Structure 1
Amino acid sequence: MTTTTAGQRRPALFPDGFSVGRLLLQGRAYFALVVIIVVFSILSPNYFTVSNLLTMSSHVAVYAILALGMLLVILNGGIDLSVGSTLGFSGVIAGFLMKGVAIGGVTLYPKVWVVVVLACASGALIGLVNGVLVARFKVAPFVATLGMLYVVRGIGLLMTNGLTYNNLEGNAALGNTGFDWLGFNRLLGLPIGVIVMIVAAVVGSLLLNRTVFGRWLYASGGNERAAELSGVPVKRVKIRVYVLSGLCAAIAGLILSSELTSASPTAGSSYELTAIAAVVIGGAALSGGVGNVRGTLLGAFVIGFLSDGLVIIGVSAYWQTVFTGAVIVFAVLLNAVQYKRRPARAGGAAGPRQTSPTDTQPPAVVGEKTAV
Structure 2
Amino acid sequence: MKTLPQAIASERESPSKAKRWMLSSYRTEIAIAIAIVIIELAVGMVVPAALSVGNLANVTQAAAPLAIMSFGVLLVIITGGIDLSVGSVFSLTGMVTGLAMAHGYGAVLSSLAGLGVGASVGLVNGALVTFVGLAPFVVTLSTYAIAGSLSFIVTDGHSLPITDPNYWLLNSGTLIPGIPNYALWCVLLLALIELGLNKLVAGRWLYAIGRSSSSARAIGIPVKRVRLCAYLLSGVLASCAGIVSISYISNAEATAGSSLMLQAIAAVVIGGASLFGGTGSAIGALLGSLMITIIQNGANLIGVNSFWQGTVTGIVILVAVLVDRVTKARR
Structure whose alpha-carbon radius of gyration is higher: 1
Which one of 67, 70, 75 corresponds to residue 72 of structure 1? 75
Deviates more, 1:329-338 or 1:87-96: 329-338
2:154 pairs, out of 148, 151, 159, with 159
The Cα shift of 1:115 comes to 1.5
Structure number having the greater strand percentage: 1
TM-score (ref. length: structure 1): 0.79
Percent identical among aligned pairs is 37
Which residue of structure 2 aligns with residue 181 of structure 1?
169
Question: Runs of 4+ in structure 1 displaced over 6 angstroms?
Answer: 23-26
Distance 1:267 1:319 in 2: 18
Contact 2:93 2:242 in 1 (8 A): yes
In structure 1, runs of 5+ residues without a counterpart are 1-9, 101-108, 171-176, 343-372
1:184, distance to aligned residue in structure 2 (A): 3.4
TM-score (norm 2): 0.88
Instruction: Verify: 1:137 aligned to 2:132, yes or no.
Output: yes
After the TM superposition, which residues 286-305 of structure 1 pair with which residues of structure 2 at under 5 Å, given as runs?
A: 286-305=275-294
1:122 aligns with 2:125: no
Give how far 1:25 is off: 6.6
Q: Which residue of 1 aligns with 2:327?
A: 338
**CA distance in structure 2 between the partners assigned to 1:13 and 1:249 by the alignment:** 35
Contact 1:54-1:190 at 8 Å conserved across structures: no
8 Å CA contact retained: 1:95, 1:263: yes
Q: CA deviation at 1:13?
A: 4.5
Structure 2: state its 5+ residue gaps.
Answer: 1-16
Whose helix fraction is larger, Structure 1's or Structure 2's? 2
Counting only pairs closer than 5 Å after superposition, residues 1-372 of structure 1 correspond to structure 2 as 13=20, 27-100=30-103, 109-166=104-161, 168-170=162-164, 177-187=165-175, 188-341=177-330
Letter in 2 for 1:87: F
CA contact (8 A) 1:86 1:246 kept: yes
Residues in 1 aligned to 2:170 and 2:163: alpha-carbon distance in whole angstroms: 11
- How far the C-alpha of 1:329 sits from its partner, in A, is 2.2
What's the C-alpha RMSD, in Å, of the aligned pairs? 2.2
SS at match of 1:291: coil
| Whole-angstrom CA distance in 1 between matches of 2:60 and 2:292 | 11
Given that 1:183 and 1:192 are in contact with CA atoms closer than 8 Å, whether structure 2 keeps it comes out as yes
Counterpart amino acid of 2:258?
A: S
Provide the rounded CA distance (Å) in 2 between the counterparts of 1:25 and 1:152: 34
Deviations 1:288-327 (A, max 9, x none): 1111111111111110111111112222112333333332
Given that 1:285 and 1:339 are in contact with CA atoms closer than 8 Å, whether structure 2 keeps it comes out as: no
User: Structure 2 counterpart of 1:304, which letter?
Assistant: T
Q: What is the one-letter code of the residue matched to 1:185?
A: G
CA distance in 1, matches of 2:27, 2:107: 46
